[in-house]
Chain A
C-alpha cells in the first residue's frame, strides 16, 4: 500500500521478467509433461525404467518452472529469491527423501516386485 506511488513496472523483480523466459519455461514444462504422458500411455519402457523416466521428466520440469517461471536463482539482486531457494532445498530433500525411504521399506513388505527393479527379491 505504501508502494502506491511507485510504478510497479519499475520494480526489479518485474524488470527481471522477460517474455522469452516465460515462454521458454512454459514450453519446456509442457514438453516434459507431454513426454511423461506419452511414455506412460504408450508403455514405451519396462515398468521400472518408466518410473525412472517420468521421475527424471518431473525433476527437469521442476527446475524449468523454478528457474524460468519463478525466477528463483542465487543472484544477488533478489536476495529473497535466494532465501526461498535455500528454504526450499532442505524441504524438498526431506519430503521426497523420507517418502522414498518409507515407500522402499513399505514395498519390501507389502507389494509385488516391479519388473526391472533392482534389489527386489
Chain B
C-alpha cells in the first residue's frame, strides 16, 4: 500500500470486512432485505417463464442501437427513481429537523431529524451525482441512441459494439454507486467534491473512492458514446440527407456530443489526480506541500459546465421535434435554431468560472465570466422565440407530449431568468451556496426531465408500435408540475431567506412552514411516480387499441416516422432517399407517404456479442477492488479487461447478411401488422417537379462501404 489507510487492511480482502455492511442501520437493513426479496422474486419469475435465454439473446448481448437505447432509458429511469428517493429523504430530514433544540429520533442516532449528518451527506452527494450522471445522462443518451440513427436514415450506429460497450460501462458505474448503499459508505462531500475534504486525511473511509470510480466509469462510457454519435452523423447519413436537412434533434446531438467528447476527459483527469492523491500519496489538491485545492474546483467545472449543456442541448432538440409536430407547422427558423445550438455549445467553454465567483479571483476575471454567462441568454432566447413562433398561428393539439414540452418551456424561462440573476457577480456573492442556487439548477434539470418525459411519450409509438395512454400522461404531468411548484417555489423563497444548501439541521424555526409545503410537494411527486407506473400499466394493457402505423401522430415531420412502428431491427427495408428537410412532412404533402420499395437489397448486420457485457463486469470489479484496495483483484480485473478488448479487436465481427428475399418477406409482414395511417384519406399524390426518388438506387452494403466522395 502506497498510502497508509486508517483501520484494518488485509491482502485478501483489502479494507473489506463484515463490519462494513450496515446491517444495524434502521433504514438500510430493511431496504437490503426488501431488495433481496424483490430481486429473488424477479429471478424466480424470469426462471419460471424461461426468459433467461430470451434476455441473453435479445438484450444482454445486443448491439442494436434501439435496444441499447431502451436499456439506457430503463437504467436512467431506475436511477431517476433512486435519486428521487434520495430527494424524498432530504426533504423529510429537513422537515423533521427544522427548529431549535434536540428533536432527533434517538433510535436512529440522530440529534436532529432522523438522519445523522454523515448519512445525510452521503444522501445529498448521491442524489446530485445520480440525477445528473446516472439519470439525466443515460436518459438523453438512450433517446439519442434510438432516434439519431433513425433520423439520418442509418441502419445502426457507426460502431455498434462500441455502443454496447458504452452502455455496459455506464451500467457498471450505476452498479458501483448502488452497491455503496450496502457495502461501506458513499462520499459525503457533495456530488462535485470539495478539495481538500476528499483527501485521505479528512475522508478516510471508502466513500470518496466509490465516488471517484463511479464517476470515472460513467465518464468513460459517455466519452465512448460521444465518439460513436459523431462518427454516425458524419458518416452514416442516408443519400440526400445533407447537413442543411439534418433534423434539429440530430443537430443538438451533434453539438452535445462535441461537448461531451472534449469535456469529459477533463473530469477523468481531475478525478485521476484525486485518485493519485488518495492512492499514491501525491499532493495535487492538498492544502499544503505545493498542492492547490482551487485547481480541483477549476478542473472539475471545466468539465462541469460543458456537461450542463451536454444535458440541456438534447432536451432542447427534443422540444424542437415535439413542438412542430403538435403545432402542424415546420420549425420556425431552422438555421437560427442550429446556429443557436452551436452558439450555446461554444459558449459552454468560457463560462465555467461562474460556479465559483466567490473564490476571489478579482473583478476583471469575474466580469469576463459574468459577461460570457449572460451571452448564453442570447442563443437560448433565440430558441425560445423560435419555439414560440413555431406555435404562433399553428394548429396546436394539446397532447400529453405537448404538455410536457410546454412545461419545459416554462421551467426554462424560470431557470433562465434566475440564471441571469446568478450570472451577476454581485448577486452571486449574496446568494452563493444558498438554496436559491439549488432551486435555479433544479429548474434547468427539471426542464430536461420534462423534455425527456415528453420525448418518451412522443417516440414511444415509434419504438413499441403503440401510443401511451394520453389521459394518464396528462395526469402524471399535472401531478409532477404541482410537485415541482410546491417543492421549488418555497425553495426559492428559502434561498432569499438565507438558507444555505445541504443543511442537515435547518436551525431557523421561521423556515418550518416552507419545509412543510416542500414535504407536501414531494408527496405529490410520489403520486406522479405512481401515476407513471399506472401510465405504463394501462398503456401496455390497452396496446392493441392504441396500435399505430409508421406515422404515429399523423402530423410528424422527420425521417424516423417513415419506417415501420415498431422499428424493425434493420431500421429501413431500403435506405430512403431524402428530398427535403422535413422528409415525412414533405412526402405526406405530396402524397408519397405510403410508397413502399419495389425491390430490396441484401442488408449486412452486425452479430450480437457478450464481450461488451463482460468488459462492463470486469470494469465494475476493477472499480470495486480499487475502492476497497484489493490489489490482486484490481490487477486481475484490469488484465481481464485489456485481454478481452484485444481478443475482441483481433477477432473482429464478420457480421451476417439478410438476403433481399428475406427483407422483402419481413417488410411485407411488418406492413400487414400495421394499421394504415390516416385511415380514410386517399393518398392522391403529385409533385410539380416531376420524378422523385423515394428510396436510394444502390443500397447494397457492399456498394455503400466502397462509396467514394462521389454523389449517389
Q: What is A's interface to B at a CB cutoff of 8 Å?
A: 1-6, 8, 80, 87-88, 91, 94-95, 98-99, 101-103, 105-106, 108-110
Contact = CB atoms under 8 A, between A and B. Distances in A.
B156 interface: yes
Contact of A4 (B258, B365, B606, B706): B606
Contacts of A4: 604, 606, 653-655, 701, 705
Given A4-B701, A4-B705, A106 B606 contact: no
Given A4-B604, A87-B258, A106 B359 contact: yes
B298 interface: yes
B701 A87 contact: no
Given A94-B350, A95-B349, A109 B234 contact: no
A8 B605 contact: no
Given A2-B236, A103-B294, 9 more contacts: A1-B157, A4-B654, A8-B652, A98-B353, A99-B298, A102-B353, A103-B298, A106-B360, A106-B365
B1 interface: no
A46 B222 CA distance: 41
B11 interface: no
B350 A109 contact: no
Given A80-B234, A91-B262, A5 B361 contact: no
Contact of B704 (A2, A87, A105, A108): A2
Contact of B349 (A80, A94, A106, A108): A94
B156 A102 contact: no
Given A91-B262, A102-B298, A109 B655 contact: no
A46 to B, nearest CB: 13
A88 B160 CA distance: 26
A61 to B, nearest CB: 13
B364 interface: yes
A23 to B, nearest CB: 18
Given A102-B353, A105-B361, A2 B604 contact: yes
A106 B262 CA distance: 26
A5 B653 CA distance: 10
A6 B705 contact: yes
B653 A91 contact: no
A99 B362 CA distance: 13
A5 B705 contact: yes
Interface string B139-169: 0000000000000000111101000000000
Contacts of B364: 105
Contacts, number: 70
Contact of B155 (A1, A80, A88, A109): A1
B302 interface: yes
Given A2-B701, A80-B234, A109 B361 contact: yes
Contacts of A6: 705-706
A5 B362 contact: no
A30 B299 CA distance: 24
A69 to B, nearest CB: 14
- 6 closest Cβ pairs, A-B complex: A4-B655, A106-B361, A105-B362, A105-B361, A2-B701, A2-B704
Interface string B597-623: 000000011100000000000000000
A33 B706 CA distance: 42
A57 to B, nearest CB: 16
Contacts of B47: none
A103 B302 CA distance: 14
A65 to B, nearest CB: 12
B702 interface: yes
Contact of A87 (B262, B361, B652): B262
Contact of A102 (B155, B361, B652): B361
Contacts of B365: 101-102, 105-106
A1 B704 CA distance: 11
Nearest to B706: A6
Nearest to A108: B362
Contact of A2 (B155, B353, B359): B155
Nearest to B161: A1
Contacts of B702: 5
B705 A95 contact: no
B152 to A, nearest CB: 13
B604 A5 contact: yes
Contacts of B361: 102-103, 105-106, 109
B239 to A, nearest CB: 13
B605 A1 contact: yes
